[in-house]
Homo-oligomer: A and B are copies of this chain.
């Protein structure tokens, strides 16, 4: 079933393409890849599933976000490998092969925007567009050592992007540098040049830090010291419960809110299609889908309400001028082929999603910066701001990380 052997050894791409820019613009000279759940005209979109690809016709139009990039001067050089139905954070595709993690040999690239991250980390593209519902841009950015941004929920048009989890899915960006990330983001976000609040407060999410490996914690402290030295900003530790004014752990963002909302929405989109079509499923996805199938969406309606409440509480605590940071992932990338037991899967996903669910339920813009490491492999340092404060976050990172952004 795998077609990986017929492609490049990096295995980042489903297909190399050459879609020239439509105009000159701020992205002239830059080339990009497109995750294979985002439409490119004339090419079938696989959604990471050969059955989906073969049962859906090729789109006539590019996704709107692809057109925005081509019109801004960028060149599209390929469709990038995606995890099956983009329902994974590890990047090991049984159908399309596992993209290479250039900076962590022998390890997974992270997913589900696995090929997007690998294409940037390996220098095949300057940037890539992916999607992020539970960490699918931020996790591969962290594990491959590149920049990644999940914008505020629904700031970028999802027209031509495969339906997945409408309350949590967003188009995201992976890039080789912060200045390029900012330029791409401003195109997709339709940003105006307008004054934004300067960063006045830098919070550090304590419960998130504690989940990280000691090496990650140590480097995070060093990065914060460097920020303090360069900008005078003093990082203030804060626990999730303190932030939102209610004594609940950070893990509730995942376990009592986002995960159920995701699962219920996945049932309504991909789930309905799987039940009607009975497609060939990869073994890992088939296991995960077993849980989706058994999921009681009525019992989980409480989690919808909890998500809405977390959204309001988190945003009340993040006014313009306040930035919050935490490790993007608690560890470096797992070794390839090791996520094959329930224990290993749980040990990777639970702490990782505790960190990614914070911006997920908060609908926050989050940028993962390739500034940390563990076991000699990359780990991202994330910064988030309030919902719709994407431009303020981009400006804040330029100020905060100017010297480290390289």
- Of the residues B60, B165, B189, contact of A272 by C-beta under 8 Å: B60
Q: A103 in the interface, Cβ–Cβ < 8 Å?
A: no
A236 within 8 Å of B (CB atoms): no
Known: A67-B297, A297-B67, A304-B190. Contact between A272 and B163, CB under 8 A?
A: no
Roughly how many angstroms separate A165 CA and B160 CA in the complex, as a whole number? Answer: 10
Within 8 A of B (CB), among A139-197: 153-154, 157-161, 163, 165-167, 189-192
A264 within 8 A of B: yes
Quote the shortest CB–CB distance from A27 to chain B (angstroms).
13
Q: From known contacts A60-B275, A271-B61, infer whether A68 and B304 are also in contact, taking CB-CB under 8 Å.
A: yes
> Which size class do A's interface residues fall under?
35 or more
Q: Assess the B157–A67 pair: CB atoms within 8 A.
A: no
Residues of B within 8 A of A59 (CB): 268, 272
Q: How far is the CB of A228 from chain B (nearest CB, A)?
A: 33
Q: Are B297's CB and A64's CB within 8 A? A: yes
What residues on B are CB-neighbors of A261 within 8 Å?
157
Q: In the complex, which of the residues B157, B165, B264, B308 contacts A189, with contact meaning CB atoms closer than 8 Å?
A: B308
Whether B154 lies near A159 (C-beta < 8 A) is no
Cβ of A298 < 8 Å from any Cβ of B? yes
Q: A154-B153, A298-B22 are in contact. Are A276 and B64 (CB under 8 A)?
A: no
Given contacts A297-B61, A305-B190, A308-B190, A268 and B68 within 8 Å (CB-CB): no
Binary interface profile of A, 269-286, with partner B (CB < 8 Å = 1, else 0)?
Answer: 101100111000000000
Task: Give the complex CA separation of A312 and B163 in angstroms.
Answer: 26
Roughly how many angstroms separate A107 CA and B64 CA in the complex, as a whole number? Answer: 38
Distance of A262 from chain B, by nearest CB (Å): 10
Interface membership of A126, Cβ < 8 A: no
